[in-house]
Amino acid sequence: MINEYKRLTKKQATYWLSEAWGQHIPEKNVRTRGDWMFVYSADYDEVECIYQPCGGDLSGESWDSIPWGKSPFAIKDKDKVAKLIDDLNKSAKVGPYKVIDYDLCLLAVSGDCADGSMDGSMDKVVYLPFSKEHLSIVSDYLRASLELELQCWVSVISERFELLRQRQARCEKLLLQAGIFHDKYHLRTNWILWELSENYPINIKHKAKPEFNKNLDDKAIQNSDLWDRIIDRANE
């Protein structure tokens, strides 16, 4: 999982920036608001705006600079500061305006979400984009599904079949909790791993329908009609 950004205090941010810039930055020349750090430069009479100090950028690169009079050094009204932060988030496409660029997806090839999709008789191919942080649980699910399918050709009345069925159910639960699977139709579909380009499956000529992540918590899953199937299989 990707670690959430931990905001720094003004003192911590000042120390980090002094190290990143290789020069002493007086703490009085620094303000921290939200995920932004504001640094006043008397030489240029401007304020540098740095997003998420110590959040992965080692150089302390500024996103933008604004006049001192329009910065938190001069503005004390909380609503105006919040508007400034929102404008910066929007211009930098971060925070609530962040655009996630997915590289991979699950592409429906058979089952409820894909009847006729591969021969072109279905209007849209369904695919489930996911971020790289979820690649591990997606990989586990695909392995479990393939092993279960192979076992079906050997015997469905065996201890191994039951173990594989439980393993697949545990993987399905994780995909539901991650918001990659949304409903029973996703559970009744066979998927393959597929590459995306600009959030669209490559080499797919007819329309594709994305179903982006939904943040389902355990309570939401338990209240859905999916839970009985998942819990029965995972806990056998």
d(CA 41, CA 36): 16
pLDDT of residue 155: 82
Q: Which residue has the higher pLDDT, 41 or 40?
A: 40
The least confident of 83-87, 132-136, 167-171 is 132-136
pLDDT at 99: 67
Domain boundaries, the chain: 10-97, 104-234
Mean pLDDT of 5-25: 91
pLDDT recorded at residue 216: 41
Confidence at 211, pLDDT banded by 50, 70, 90: low
* pLDDT (average), residues 12-26: 93
Q: Euclidean distance between the first and final Cα of the chain, in Å? A: 28
When pLDDT is cut at 50, 70 and 90, the band that residue 2 belongs to is: very low
Neighbours of 60 (CB within 10 A): 20
Per-residue pLDDT band for 88 (boundaries 50, 70, 90) equals: very high
Structure confidence at residue 124 (pLDDT) = 67
Average pLDDT in the chain = 81
CB 29 within 8 A of CB 48: no
pTM, to two decimals: 0.50
In the numeric block, the tokens 């591969």 are attached to 118
pLDDT at position 175: 93
220 residue type, one letter? A
User: 86 pLDDT exceeds 50?
Assistant: yes
SS (H, E, C) the chain: CCCCCCCCCHHHHHHHHHHHHCCCCCHHHEEEECCEEEEEECCCCEEEEEECCCCCCCCCCCCEEEEHHHCCCCCCCHHHHHHHHHHHHHHHCCHHHCCCCCCEEEEEEEECCCCCCCCCCCCCEEEEEECHHHHHHHHHHHHHHHHHHHHHCCCCCCHHHHHHHHHHHHHHHHHHHCCCCCCHHHHCEEEEEEEEECCEECCCCCCEEECCCCCCCHHHHHCCCCHHHHHHHHCC
Query: What is the predicted pLDDT for the residue at 205?
Result: 60
**pLDDT of 230 strictly over 70:** no
> What is the chain's length?
236
* Mean pLDDT for the stretch of residues 141-166: 89
Grade residue 96 by pLDDT with cuts at 50, 70 and 90: confident
Distance of CA 203 to the CA centre of its chain: 24
The pLDDT of 202-225, averaged and rounded, is 55
**Predicted confidence (pLDDT) per residue in 104-135, tens digit:** 899 998 888 875 544 444 456 788 998 887 88
The predicted pLDDT at position 181 comes to 93
